[in-house]
Amino acid sequence: MPAPDRIVRLNTVLSRTGLSRSTIYRKIAEGTFPVQLRISINGAGWRESDIDRWIEDPVSWRPEQEAGDGR
């Protein structure tokens, strides 16, 4: 059984990517960085697998299309 995908918070993402907070949010707006998940009213985080995939190839990273998206 594969390990469950962890949710990582902003400080972990900053450390792992080497990007600044403003750069992360700019890239999210551009569609070139994974979008956060809302985990509570005041909290959000990222799937660790999404961050890992971005780190592997940041230049050509694009969001995975949902099944049945039709695009």
Q: What is the pLDDT of residues 8-59, one digit of tens each?
A: 999 999 999 999 999 999 999 999 999 999 999 999 999 999 999 999 999 9
Q: Distances from the Cα of 2 to the Cαs of 5, 53, 58, 66, 71, in angstroms? A: 9, 17, 25, 21, 29
Residue 68 in this model has a pLDDT that exceeds 80 = no
Query: Contact 66/38 with Cβ under 8 angstroms?
Result: no
State the pLDDT confidence band at 71, using cuts at 50, 70 and 90. very low
Global pTM reads: 0.82
Q: Give me the pLDDT at residue 60, please.
A: 86
Domain ranges of the chain: 7-56
